[in-house]
């Protein structure tokens, strides 16, 4: 056991001595609005090793970058789709890709 602990200590020291891995979660979110092209471009320009967006699947299975789990707080989904019954406790979750594009004004 002592040999394994020593090996683990050496491995930890080697990792600590290496350059840190920079993961830009939602882009350069401390500087710009999260999940925007500008935030991701700034994170890249600042030297981030990886850009990590929040991904969810639309109701029809398309990956979508979306921070919130529901659309009520970030859109006018209730006004745009008044006849729809929300599937999740009265809040709108992710809808189809076509509906998301329409909701975004596209």
Q: Which residues are marked as active site?
A: 25, 67
Beta strands in 1-106 (DSSP E): 23-25, 50-52, 55-57, 63-65
Neighbouring residues of 12: CB distance < 8 A, sequence distance ≥ 6? none
Is residue 65 within 8 Å of 104, Cβ to Cβ?
no
Residue with tokens 């979110």: 29
């Amino acid at each position: 056991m002592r040999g394994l602990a020593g090996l683990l200590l050496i491995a930890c020291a080697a990792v600590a001595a290496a350059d840190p891995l920079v993961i830009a979660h939602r882009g350069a979110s401390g500087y710009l609005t999260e999940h925007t092209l500008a935030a991701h471009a700034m994170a890249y320009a600042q030297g981030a090793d990886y850009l990590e967006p929040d991904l969810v699947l639309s109701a029809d299975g398309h990956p979508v970058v979306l921070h919130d789990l529901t659309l009520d707080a970030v859109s006018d989904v209730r006004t745009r789709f008044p006849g729809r019954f929300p599937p999740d406790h009265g809040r709108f979750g992710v809808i189809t890709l076509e509906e998301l594009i329409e909701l975004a004004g596209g």
